[in-house]
Amino acid sequence: MGLNFISFIAAIGIALSGISIHRRGGRDAATRLLLIVDAFSFAYALLHALGTSQIDVNHAALLRAGFACLAIAAGFLLAYGLYFPTRMGRFALPLAILSIVGSGGAAYLVAQGFDFIALARQMPDRIFVTTGRLFYPLVDIVAAVGALSGLLQVLRVFSRKAERITRQRATLAALSVVLSAVGTWALIRLVPERSGVRRSFALLPLAPFASALLSAYTHSLSRVFDWRENGRRLLSYLILGLLFGLPASGVTALLIILGSVYPIVPIVGSPLVFIVAFRSARRFSERSLSRLGSSREYREELESALAHIDLAKGRDAVLAELHEELSDSLGFKDLTVLIEDDEGVLKTVYAPGGGQASLPRDAELREHLERSGLTVLMRSEAVAAPIHENFRSELVTLLDNLKAEALIFAKEGRRIIGIFALGARSSGADYTDYDYDTFRAIYGKLFVFAFYLKNVARESILYTVDRELALSDQVIRFALEKVDKVESPTADVAWMTRSTRRLGGDFVDFVRLSKERSFFVLGDVSGKGLSASMNMLVLKSMIRTFLRVERDFTGLVQRVNLFIKENLPKGSFFAGVFGYFDFARGLCYFINCGVPAMFLYVPSFDAFVEIQGEGRVLGFVRDVTPYLKPRKLAIPAGSALIVSTDGVLDSENIRGERFGKDRLRASARARLDKSAREIADGVLDDLLTFTDKRQEDDLTLLAMKFHARSAP
């Protein structure tokens, strides 16, 4: 088979690259031309592989057909150079047609004439190829056409002002063209022929293969990358390879040699060598290469600074401090903030740099941004990403009006309630992938500010005497009003939440899935005061958002855990329970995440049974999935369910005695003949009587009674 397997691999790689470009959704002329180039390059690689294979075929005919496909690909490649990254004026279409027609003529000469490849004959270990007088001239012409295509791309974007992402894409596209055209030419022209055997023939499809891979990457590129930073990373990898990779390879080779005498040596020794080399390289990288491998890292400092902004200071002070913290970390001057008003219009509420814009509720651009699911949009993505193809000019205009290079969208579900527009850096540098990841990491904190500005920071409220309590009233009222009603005739549901100073992180939420199915969550977000209330609202909103897209119960809880870990202030946690009721079947599925009290009254036992088991509090580890234990609970008619947070159990009287689980059970049992509302209120009355009306922590309790289904 020889080296011709390389041609088969190249054909597969070219096909996958074309599929990748197609799946990204670009439908402009340049993308269609590139897909045609990939199609003919794939045909060339496949025919070349068959033509150099040692099977009984007409090798000369297959090779001529393959080179004919390559000639056509060169014509479309030149047309691609006329259209990417931007169209070359009014002459683009006639020149593209001319190049394609010319390539068709060259392909005809290649496919029909013995003057290109006169003979290809199978030998015991290789294919003997005799070329004709047109072979080298046509190869030179094809290479020249490819080089011209790359030159047109580079000159067109660098001869006038263009976005940096456009320049980077044009540079990479030109490089991909050169790889295909000049690479093929070099393998033919620069590798000498010996005794009529061209060993480089088997390697020829590698050039269009490399070109296809780079083209696919170019069309996927929608964010500017820093050449210097990537160069530093490449240098760091090279250093690690030289210091640890090569020695490890040498030792492994030695072990393999010893394996001819002692077979167990390479089996045991090779993994040990790999582990030692890997750990040594990682330790060396962390100590010596951390500065070389990346630019200044500011993410943790920024997250901490945003978490410590006091929302009780008022809207103007909060926005000014937010601007200061963001600009100090990112090095920009302009910040523009848009917040949704009562009519659903996104309006500018903060713009010291003069940026101004608005987006009505029914604006097509806003609908597109909400449909896309994006929370961060860079200017480079607006210019280059295929998803924005139909709204490119509107997006660029919006960015220009806001004097922005990046937009961060605060979303409640899919609805945008706020936009944070970050201006250009003072240094003139672009935002990089590290900045993009940072924007996503601080999204949760910016959502808190957007929610605060939309729902809390009203001018009429800012002048009240007790501002913090007034703010919290709106927060708690909003949380209580957004709970879906349980409509099943078999369930009677009630709950109570009572916060110290009306400020806290406890909440109960029901989400109606159908008449007989409801999802619920009850728990306590760590913290006190307004900060805890805001974190509670953010988490409550995100749980509802996750519930729309996540169908796996455990996966939903893990998403919530990751959101707490990455987006809420450092050290935040959530202790509670997630549940799903199927009232028609009398079942409840739940995952306890640190709620301390869950009791089910079972009529057959005439007693409350403790059912919560062990639970892992969310927010401490990144992956909590191994610790989650979903449970299934049967809830027969006549049952009653009581769930409470630790505030109820840990409340103490003047003698230091805890209210505890026994008193909670006794208080609920004494009211089993009453409604769920009366049970919840009665337990609260007993608790306040026990503590002499003193409350030191947030109190939350859920009471549910389950009835038999009435006969139809």
**Per-residue model confidence as pLDDT tens digits over 292-321:** 544 456 777 887 788 778 776 778 888 889
Question: Residue 503 above 50 pLDDT?
Answer: yes
Q: How confident is the model at residue 193 (pLDDT cuts 50, 70, 90)?
A: low
Between CA 96 and CA 78 the distance in angstroms is 7
Mean pLDDT in residue range 333-361 = 89
Q: Which residue has the higher pLDDT, 626 or 434?
A: 626
Collapsed DSSP state (helix, strand, coil) of residue 423:
coil
Q: Summarize the confidence of residues 670-697 as an average pLDDT.
A: 90
- Helix, strand or coil, per DSSP, at residue 3: helix
Strand partners, 577: 522, 592
Whether residues 580 and 606 share a domain: the answer is yes
How far apart, in whole angstroms, are the C-alpha atoms of residue 430 and residue 295?
13
| Residue with the larger pLDDT of the pair 633 and 432 | 633
Q: Do the domain assignments include residue 472?
A: no
The verdict on 492 and 438 lying in the same domain is no
Same-domain check for residues 513 and 547: yes
Residue 120 pLDDT exceeds 90 = no
Please give the residue that has the higher pLDDT: either 299 or 213: 213
Return the top range by mean pLDDT from 94-108, 420-434, 474-488, 620-634. Answer: 620-634
Average pLDDT on 355-366 reads: 89
156 vs 83: CA distance, rounded Å: 10
Of 69-83, 241-255, 523-537, 557-571, which range is least confident? 523-537
Final residue of a structural domain among 422, 456, 490 = 456
- Report the pLDDT value the prediction gives residue 294, as an integer from 0 to 100: 47
- Cα 462 to Cα 343: distance, rounded to the nearest angstrom: 21
Which DSSP symbol is given to 294?
S
Please state the rounded mean pLDDT for residues 255-284. 79
Name residue 268's amino acid: V
The verdict on residue 169 lying in a domain is yes
Q: What is the CATH number of the domain that holds 165?
A: 1.20.1070.10
Angstrom CA distances, 146 to 37, 63, 74, stand at: 12, 20, 6
> Do both 151 and 214 map to the same domain?
yes
pTM assigned to the model:
0.59
How confident is residue 463, by pLDDT bands cut at 50, 70 and 90? very low
Nearest by Cα to 534 from 270, 258, 219, 312: 312
- In whole angstroms, what is the distance from residue 327 CA to residue 207 CA? 46
Residues 62 and 103 in one domain: yes
Structure confidence at residue 336 as a pLDDT band (50, 70, 90): very high
Q: Note whether residue 16 is domain-resident.
A: yes
Mean predicted confidence (pLDDT) in 439-460: 75
Residues 318 and 446 in one domain: yes
Give yes or no for residue 46 having a pLDDT over 80.
yes
pLDDT score of 170: 82
Residue 594 lies in domain: 478-706
The domain boundary, picked from 410, 425, 456, lies at 456
Query: Average pLDDT over the chain, rounded to whole?
Result: 81
Q: Please tell me whether residues 55 and 200 are part of one structural domain.
A: yes
User: Which of the given ranges, 52-66, 186-200, 317-331, has the highest pLDDT on average?
Assistant: 317-331
Going from the C-alpha of 123 to that of each of 59, 255, 467, the distances in angstroms are 11, 39, 92
702 and 604 in a common domain: yes
Residues 413 and 362 in one domain: yes
Among the ranges given (92-96, 578-582, 637-641), the one the predictor scored with the smallest mean pLDDT? 92-96
Residues 317, 263, single domain; the answer is no
Confidence of residue 502 (pLDDT cuts 50, 70, 90): low
Query: What is the rounded CA–CA span in Å between residue 351 and residue 599?
Result: 53
Edge-to-edge, what's the strand order for the sheet holding 415-422?
358-359, 346-350, 335-340, 415-422, 406-412, 376-378
Q: Is 359 helix (H, G, I), strand (E, B) or coil?
A: strand
Domain assignment present for residue 351? The answer is yes
pLDDT at 285: 73
Reported confidence tier of residue 599, pLDDT bands at 50, 70, 90 = very high
